[in-house]
């Protein structure tokens, strides 16, 4: 496959690197990272072993891309606040059969892509493994809670042949993946996970494991989970587990232990003086709650606290 990683940061580089062993892959990213890869290759360490990948294509803007033939697959891995801009640029380079697959944090990304691109050419993905970009050209895969899930975003709930093909390609590249008939539901569950962990770990400057050991942090996370479930149920979104209590059991027994050593990308963004994705996680829950008059005071507090931290570090 001819594949473009649109937004080769930590997650995008992980996908692009492993896929480059068997496919024609181009990484589109920021200049320092791209130039480091050009000189020394993409260095990967962590739970999936040590590797040096040399993707066939490297670019820092769309005008550097190989346009001789359309891309089969474009992986959209930009930060959520850049999705609208990315969608406009992806539209310029898509062919009639190109698939755009969102592998992003938060909610609202799929909707944004579908506004700019033909919805039938958009797929959704739930990524729940952790990657840190330690320095330009170097990434570290730290944890994985579940395989990447890929699915259709248009109504229907079917697992199509193109979804199966992408999942097969990912698995052959040693990127654990599964097909899903309900990728939107999985993205909501990821937001429950991220909303509970990311802002709190970022404010405490800690890895996830610390939160599970702190009674006050657990109380906050429990309140966040309750609020997200209330909003999800308020808009008619069916989640599995169906109740906050069921999710908390899964969260504390399996999800949190598997990712206890991970530092959230939100903390990494604050440490680098960058904008975070709080608006597409807790902020999105706050927005939906206000629209439907569902109280979300703990999510609101975390949004305010992270935005204050952004101003202090930016």
Catalytic site positions: 190
Transcribe 248-303 into DSSP letters.
HHHIIIIIHHHTTTPPPHHHHHHHTT---SGGGTHHHHHHHHHHTT---HHHHHHH
Cβ 176 vs Cβ 144: under 8 Å = yes
**CA–CA gap between residue 162 and residue 117 (Å, rounded):** 18
Cβ 125 vs Cβ 239: under 8 Å = no
- Residue 30: CB atoms within 10 Å: 13
Give whole-number Cα distances, 15 to 80, 171, 267, in Å.
18, 11, 22
Residue 152 belongs to what H/E stretch? strand 148-152
């Amino acid at each position: 496959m001819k594949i473009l990683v649109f937004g080769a940061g930590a997650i995008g580089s992980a996908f692009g690197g492993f896929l480059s062993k068997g496919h024609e892959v181009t990484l589109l990213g920021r200049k320092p990272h791209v130039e480091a890869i050009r000189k020394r290759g993409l260095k990967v360490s962590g739970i999936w072993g040590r590797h040096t990948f040399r993707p066939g294509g490297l670019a820092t803007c769309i005008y550097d891309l190989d346009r001789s033939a359309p891309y089969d697959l474009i992986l959209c891995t930009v930060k959520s606040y850049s999705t609208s801009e990315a969608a406009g640029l992806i539209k310029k380079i898509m062919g009639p059969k190109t698939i755009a697959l969102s592998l992003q944090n938060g909610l609202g990304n799929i909707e944004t892509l579908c506004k700019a691109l033909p919805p039938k050419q958009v797929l959704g993905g739930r990524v729940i493994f952790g990657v840190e970009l330690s320095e330009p050209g170097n990434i570290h895969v730290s944890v994985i809670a579940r395989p990447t899930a890929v699915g259709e975003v248009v109504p229907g709930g079917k697992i199509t042949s193109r979804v199966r093909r992408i999942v097969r390609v990912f698995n052959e590249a040693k990127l654990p993946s599964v097909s899903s008939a309900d990728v939107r539901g999985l993205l909501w569950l990821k937001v429950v996970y991220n909303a509970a962990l990311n802002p709190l770990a970022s404010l405490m400057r800690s890895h996830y494991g610390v939160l599970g050991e702190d009674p006050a942090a657990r109380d906050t996370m429990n309140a966040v989970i309750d609020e997200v479930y209330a909003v999800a149920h308020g808009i008619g979104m069916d989640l599995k587990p169906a109740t906050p209590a069921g999710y908390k059991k899964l969260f504390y027994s399996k999800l949190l232990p598997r990712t206890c050593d991970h530092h959230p990308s939100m903390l990494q963004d604050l440490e680098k003086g960058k904008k975070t994705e709080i608006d597409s996680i807790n902020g999105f829950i706050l927005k939906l709650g206000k629209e439907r008059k569902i109280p979300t005071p703990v999510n609101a507090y975390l949004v305010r606290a992270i935005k204050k931290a952004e101003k202090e570090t930016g």
